[in-house]
Structure formats: structure tokens, C-alpha cells
């Protein structure tokens, strides 16, 4: 990836920013590469809006352009997931294909990327970042390299202006993302990862467990409080 040339007007870039660890790291990486970042967050009917509140706060602190796009009308189309249906039990286990398939939101990343690409074209941004990473490959098809490759093919021809999709951590696990962020001096207390929107993170859902394992693998303690350590 070639960053913008110094001493010129920064190139605009769209960053899909959920408020979680991965997109928080991607957001700062894009900023440090000199892009004029336009962050996009989406309310698509997820169980809680805790991540979105965190995203607003971070972007306000950074002075980054930020839009929270309400697309909850699509919930009736993609609501068959534990992430979007509060009546369903949230799996409490490490990520694995046989026990966390219930957390897959149908076609989510294709939908969000399509909207982000449209926004990129609208503001003349040639690049769109999102936080797919290697740890998601076993469970989420829309976080795999083949998906990113195909979406890039489409993004190159879907409009008069080509947009490149960049997933900088596509081949990295959560611990590698965390290590990169810590090297940048990032404060992960400014993120929210838990699938539940309670006062403190649950410590039991797949997302919490993956996050806690990442900190433990680096010999560190997560700055977020947990209901169950």
C-alpha cells in the first residue's frame, strides 16, 4: 500500500469503524499513513449500540469525520443471528465453526462495504478500509481473502471511479493486531468488543474470549473491566 505523498493535500479514505479493537486499530493506521479519514459506523439492528457510542467518542476526540448510518430497516432481512436477535442465547465459547455459527450475520460485510464504497465514490476517496482479520477466517466467509479479492474486483468496475478495498490485518490474528496497536501507543480502553451491551464486558462470549486471549498472549491485562475475568 502506498501512502499519500507528503506535503500534498491528504487523500480521503473511508474507514468502516465499528468501535471494536480491529477497526480501532485500522482507523489509527489509516490516520498515521496520512489519509484524510472519513469513518463510517453502521447501526444494522445489532443487540446493542455500545460500540457505536465508543466510536462516536473516539472520533470526537480525534477530530475525525464520522457518520453513524442507521440501516436498521434491513434487520427484517438479516435478523437470523445471535448478534441481531436478543431473544437468542449468545454462545459462550472460543471461536470455532461448530459452536459460533449462530453469530454470523448474513452478508453483513458485503452490505456494509457496498455502502462504504458508495460513500467513497461520493467524496472522491480511492480507498476503503475494513478490519477483517485472520482469526475470523474459520467462521466468517466475508472476512476471508477470497471475499476481499472478489469485492475488490467488483469495486474496481461498479462505478466510474475505482475504489480499492484495503484490509491491512487480513492475514493477522488478534494478538498481532493488538501488538501493532500497542506499538502505535493506542489505548484499548477506548474500544468495545463484547457481543452484549452490559455495563461491563461479559468475558464469556467468543469476542471477549478472543480479546482476552490476545492480551494474555502478550503478557498483558485488558484495560476493560469484565463481569467474569
* Binding-site positions for Zn(2+): 194, 202, 205, 208
Q: Which H helix or E strand runs over 175?
A: helix 174-183
Are 149 and 171 spatial neighbours (Cβ–Cβ below 8 Å)?
A: no
Length of the chain: 229
Distance CA 48, CA 177 (A): 24
Q: Give 119-125 contacts, CB < 8 A, sequence gap 24+.
A: 119/14, 119/38, 119/40, 119/67, 120/12, 120/13, 120/14, 120/163, 121/159, 121/161, 121/163, 123/12, 123/14, 123/38, 124/12, 124/161, 125/11, 125/12, 125/13, 125/14, 125/38, 125/163
Q: Mark the binding-site residues for ATP, compressed into ranges.
A: 17-27
Q: Mark the binding-site residues, compressed into ranges.
A: 17-27, 194, 202, 205, 208
Take residue 63 and report the three cell numbers written for it.
477530530
Using CA atoms of 134, 138, 142, 143 in order, give the dihedral in degrees to the nearest 10.
-10
Q: What are the angstrom distances between the C-alpha of 30 and each of 1, 23, 113, 142, 182? A: 11, 10, 17, 21, 15
Q: Which has the closest alpha carbon to 208: 44, 93, 123, 66?
A: 93
Amino acid at each position: 500500500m502506498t501512502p499519500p505523498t507528503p506535503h500534498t493535500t491528504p487523500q480521503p479514505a473511508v474507514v468502516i469503524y465499528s468501535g471494536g479493537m480491529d477497526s480501532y486499530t485500522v482507523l489509527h493506521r489509516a490516520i498515521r499513513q496520512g489519509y484524510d479519514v472519513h469513518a463510517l459506523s453502521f447501526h444494522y439492528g445489532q443487540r446493542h449500540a455500545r460500540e457505536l457510542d465508543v466510536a462516536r467518542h473516539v472520533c470526537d476526540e480525534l477530530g475525525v469525520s464520522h457518520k453513524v448510518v442507521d440501516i436498521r430497516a434491513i434487520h427484517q432481512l438479516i435478523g437470523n443471528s445471535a448478534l441481531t436477535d436478543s431473544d437468542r442465547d449468545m454462545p459462550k465459547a472460543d471461536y470455532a465453526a461448530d459452536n459460533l455459527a449462530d453469530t454470523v450475520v448474513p452478508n453483513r460485510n458485503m452490505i456494509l462495504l457496498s455502502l462504504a464504497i458508495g460513500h467513497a465514490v461520493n467524496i472522491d476517496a480511492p480507498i476503503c478500509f475494513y478490519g477483517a482479520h485472520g482469526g475470523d477466517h474459520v467462521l466468517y466467509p466475508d472476512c476471508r481473502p477470497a471475499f476481499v479479492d472478489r469485492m475488490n474486483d467488483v469495486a474496481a468496475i461498479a462505478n466510474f471511479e475505482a475504489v480499492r478495498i484495503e484490509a491491512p490485518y487480513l492475514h493477522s490474528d488478534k494478538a498481532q493486531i493488538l501488538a501493532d496497536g500497542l506499538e502505535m501507543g493506542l489505548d484499548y480502553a477506548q474500544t468495545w468488543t463484547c457481543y452484549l451491551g452490559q455495563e461491563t464486558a461479559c468475558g464469556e462470549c467468543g469476542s471477549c474470549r478472543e480479546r482476552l486471549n490476545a492480551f494474555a498472549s502478550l503478557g498483558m491485562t485488558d484495560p476493560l473491566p469484565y463481569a467474569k475475568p
